Amino acid sequence: MTYDYDLFVIGAGSGGLAASKRAASYGAKVAIAEADLVGGTCVIRGCVPKKLMVYASKFSHLYQDAVGYGWSQVESSFDWQHLVTVVDKEVRRLSQLHISFLEKAGVELISGKASLLDPHTIQVGERKITADKILIAVGGEAVKPNLPGMEFAITSREMFLLEEQPKRLAVLGAGYIAVEFAGIMRGLGSQVTQLIRGDMFLKGFDEDIRSGVSEGMKQHGIEVIANVIGQKIEKVPEGLQLTFSEKGKDVDSTITVDAVLVAIGRAPNLGGLGLDKAGVKVVNCEDEDLPRLHGYSVSCAIAVDEYSRTSQANIFAVGDCTNRINLTPVAIGEGRAFADTEFGNNPRIFSHETVPSAVFSQPEAATVGLSETEAKAKLGDDAVQIYRARFRPMFHSLTGAEEKTMVKLVIDKQSDRVLGAHMTGEYAAEIIQGMAIAVKMGATKKDFDATVGIHPSTAEEFVTLR
Ligand code: NDP
């Protein structure tokens, strides 16, 4: 049987782009379908525009900090439309760049939404295309809670394109996206109220990261209301009124804002994909209480094995739609491992162990390896040694700001191995990236101690912990 393509990739995001180019480099005939701008969530409405907005938001803090160093007070104003326009322009430039990379790699780009008709046939618009192997890399999309008035709320997708800066913003959620946008919008001058259903941000992260981020955000003027359940949103003459119930309070409370951002998780983008027609199974979709997008909840995922193979032998899936670790570098790694295995005669599994990540909150947080709680649950309380320092970074010794940096190592007492490295504070992502190499290589605390620090720096704290 001959097919139109050796590989057809659905979704030109991080995972799909990486896999398609790698497969083409081995001589495979590859096509990739994309219904939106090429680049996917990270480039178009995630990591890239988010980080640019984080940069934009930090100037207000810098202007204040500069006064402590002898600069006169800066009277500056901020132009939201300018930022949104230049960020959008940069995103479109990168999207074009990705298209040129595909051309260079010999991958054919097909515009339109693809759906599966059977295990080897894909429909895009009027076109029916056949392929030997298919890779699903459709990513995810933000969900909203099932509450009255949620049509008035926005998700991170719309945040990048708002015509006006909301002067008063309510943020629902306590994960990556919620804390990052709370920091961005506060830095840009909005009044931000963050409503979280538990009592702390960033569930799953080391407790010292959670408390460090929480404290820092409050210091930056973000109002946090904990143990809250959102009830409804209504349009009122003054803006949007968000009603919520607070644990321990008999009556509901309200706040009136210009925009409500919901960031309560993302569901795989599987609507209309025709998975059932191709015999591709999904898992973890049973919980009826979870918010859904086109029928799929935040816990749903395409079921895959360690080689990213679905229940259909010739169909594979990588990235957020498999809900393993939903990070761009992971999707890229999974995509390349798939291409090496299937087209490069180099069978290999992408390791999901010791994956570092950062939250671009303010203060920034970054982490690799086990948290203290995870390490103690795995090895027992007495088998784990914790080294931690919390201090005012040198930069703030003259600014007067009460900013704190936290660095922490989680050590296996018996082997002396570093099981986890965690940090909150300026450049946490940059610093933990280096630590991640050491942790991945199995470095011990003695190795860290034997490393000479770079002085004066924050990173040196990791090699001087006592
Ligand atoms: P997350 O999965 O990080 O967090 C979801 C948050 O929503 C949790 O705090 C959860 O609260 C809360 N929540 C869930 N349901 C409700 C509800 N019904 N009402 C109120 N709160 C609720 O989701 P995000 O949307 O922030 O991010 C999605 C994914 O995107 C992340 O998992 C991450 O992998 C990726 N991402 C990574 C970034 C990075 O690497 N810097 C940046 C942005 C996104 P609770 O804690 O109580 O469970």
What pLDDT does 426 receive?
A: 96
Task: Report yes or no on whether pTM surpasses 0.85.
Answer: yes
Cα separation, 16 vs 235, in Å, equals: 40
For ligand 1, whether the C-beta of 371 sits within 6 Å is no
What pLDDT does 323 receive?
A: 97
Phi, psi of 350 (to 5 degrees): -80, 130
Asked if residues 430 and 454 have their Cβ atoms less than 8 Å apart, the reply is: no
pLDDT of 288 strictly over 90: no
Tell me the residue length of the chain: 466
The CATH code for residues 150-264 is 3.50.50.60
Angle at 52 between CA 260 and CA 424, to 5 degrees: 80
For ligand 1, whether the C-beta of 184 sits within 6 Å is no
What confidence tens digit (pLDDT) does each residue in 149-183 have?
999 999 999 999 999 999 999 999 999 999 999 99
Q: Where in the chain is the domain with CATH 3.30.390.30?
A: 363-463
Phi, psi of 50 (to 5 degrees): -60, -45
For ligand 1, whether the C-beta of 329 sits within 6 Å is no
pLDDT of 248 strictly over 90: no
Residue 4: other Cβ atoms inside 10 A: 17
pLDDT of 225 strictly over 90: yes
| Atom of ligand 1 at shortest range from CA of 200 | 46
What confidence tens digit (pLDDT) does each residue in 409-465 have?
999 999 999 999 999 999 999 999 999 999 999 999 999 999 999 999 999 999 999
Q: Which two tokens stand for residue 234?
A: 């209504």
| Atom of ligand 1 at shortest range from CA of 47 | 42
Q: What is the 3-state secondary structure (H, E, C) of 311-328?
A: CCCCEEECHHHHCCCCCH
Whose C-alpha lies nearest to ligand 1, atom 2? 265
Of 256, 250, 193, 255, the residue nearest 224 (C-alpha): 193
Whose C-alpha lies nearest to ligand 1, atom 22? 264
What pLDDT does 358 receive?
A: 98
What confidence tens digit (pLDDT) does each residue in 266-280 have?
999 999 999 999 999
The CATH code for residues 363-463 is 3.30.390.30
Q: Where in the chain is the domain with CATH 3.50.50.60?
A: 5-142+267-343, 150-264
Phi, psi of 40 (to 5 degrees): 80, -175
Per-residue pLDDT band at 28 (split at 50, 70, 90): very high
Best of 141, 224, 266 to mutate for ligand 1, by most ligand atoms within 8 A of CB?
A: 266
What confidence tens digit (pLDDT) does each residue in 250-269 have?
899 999 999 999 999 999 99
Which sequence positions are flagged as catalytic? 455
pLDDT of 1 strictly over 90: no
Average pLDDT of the residues in 387-397: 97
Tokens 């990235």 sit on residue:
319
SS3 label, residue 42: helix
Phi, psi of 322 (to 5 degrees): -100, -5
Q: Find the 173 Cα to ligand 1 centroid distance in Å.
A: 7
Given phi > 0 = left and psi -120 to 50 = alpha, else beta, which region is 112?
A: left
Asked if residues 129 and 2 have their Cβ atoms less than 8 Å apart, the reply is: no
Share of the chain above pLDDT 90, in %: 97
pLDDT of 305 strictly over 90: yes
What pLDDT does 172 receive?
A: 97
Q: Which two tokens stand for residue 111?
A: 């515009």
What pLDDT does 162 receive?
A: 96
Q: Find the 399 Cα to ligand 1 centroid distance in Å.
A: 33
Residue 313: other Cβ atoms inside 10 A: 10
Average pLDDT of the residues in 218-236: 96
What confidence tens digit (pLDDT) does each residue in 44-100 have?
999 999 999 999 999 999 999 999 999 999 899 999 999 999 999 999 999 999 999
Per-residue pLDDT band at 327 (split at 50, 70, 90): very high
Best of 48, 143, 177, 297 to mutate for ligand 1, by most ligand atoms within 8 A of CB?
A: 177
Which residues does residue 108 pair with via DSSP β-bridges, in sequence order?
Answer: 31
| Atom of ligand 1 at shortest range from CA of 145 | 18
Q: Find the 130 Cα to ligand 1 centroid distance in Å.
A: 37
For ligand 1, whether the C-beta of 198 sits within 6 Å is yes
Strand 30-34 with 108-111, pairing:
parallel
pLDDT of 186 strictly over 90: yes
Q: Find the 31 Cα to ligand 1 centroid distance in Å.
A: 33
CATH topology of domain 5-142+267-343: FAD/NAD(P)-binding domain (3.50.50)
Q: Find the 46 Cα to ligand 1 centroid distance in Å.
A: 13
